[in-house]
Amino acid sequence: MEIYNLINIYADKFIPIFIRIAVMLSFIPFIGARQTPVMIRAALSIALTLMLLPIVKVDFSDPARALFEAFFVGSAMGLTTRIILGAIEMSAQWISLAMGLTMAAVFNPAFGETLSPLSLFYTMLSMVLFFVFDVHFYLIEGIVRSFDITSLHYTGVFSSVMKLNAFFFPIAFKIAAPVLMVQLLVNLGMGFLSKTIPQANIFFISFPLLITLGIIFIILSIPVSIMVISKAFINVKDTIMVITR
């Protein structure tokens, strides 16, 4: 009953805040995945909306504009995170391709598609770091700060998201580079060996060697990957601050 009264008091605020949060959450893996029950996503969106109702100011004089801005800002906030997580997913795909693990595919509920086990591992790692580095707090702060903007600059928001998109391939390459370099050196060595000993079946030697060395260097490069991902999330924070300034 208290929640019902709270919604009645802030009825004009509820819908714009709810739309911003619901659209933002729909871009975050696991939370916004198709396999996540709609009731859970709706409950989380309503809970965050009720938390923000007493502290934000919403200009609802033009309902159409308020709803459009809510959808636009929510999409921009969600994309800032989705771009980074997509880059991590891309790096895992490159590593899987180099190691020959693309055939061992599993279903990834985060993106709703079939991916390699390494892709699922890196996705899980990125989501753990997402909460460890408090990126979810940056998103909530960005939603709160977005209501303080009197005039939303659509081109500025769009250009900020596009600038963050420029980090997509550099982030993916930095994460995958250590393993890819080892795989390249092993393939070159196996190529020279096949020319030296043409009667030897190099394939049966190289395949387990590639997988073994790949797993070893994935473990050794985890600190580097964490450092790259942490810096990428800092870029997310900066982009959110630019969008909401």
Q: Supply 14's token pair.
A: 């509820």
Tell me the C-alpha distance between 198 and 136, whole Å: 56
The full DSSP string for 57-96 is: ----SSHHHHHHHHHHHHHHHHHHHHHHHHHHHHHHHHHH
- The predicted pLDDT at position 64 comes to 79
Coil vs helix vs strand at 107: strand
With beta carbons less than 8 A apart as the criterion, state whether 148 and 141 touch. Answer: no
Please name every residue paired with 114 in a beta bridge, in sequence order, or none if there are none: 107
Q: What is the pLDDT of residues 161-189, one digit of tens each?
A: 888 888 888 888 989 888 888 888 888 88
Closest to 55 in 3D by CA, of 118, 117, 145: 145
Identify which has the larger pLDDT, 62 or 21.
21
Mapped onto helix, strand or coil, the DSSP state of residue 153 is coil
Residue 230 reports pLDDT greater than 80: yes
Q: Which tops the pLDDT comparison, 12 or 138? A: 138
Q: What is the pLDDT of residues 123-146, one digit of tens each?
A: 888 888 888 888 888 888 888 887
pTM of the model: 0.79
Q: What's the rounded mean pLDDT across residues 5-30?
A: 76
Mean pLDDT comparison of 45-49, 109-113, 152-156, highest-scoring range? 45-49
5 pLDDT band, cuts 50/70/90, is low
Q: Which helix (H) or strand (E) holds 106?
A: strand 106-108
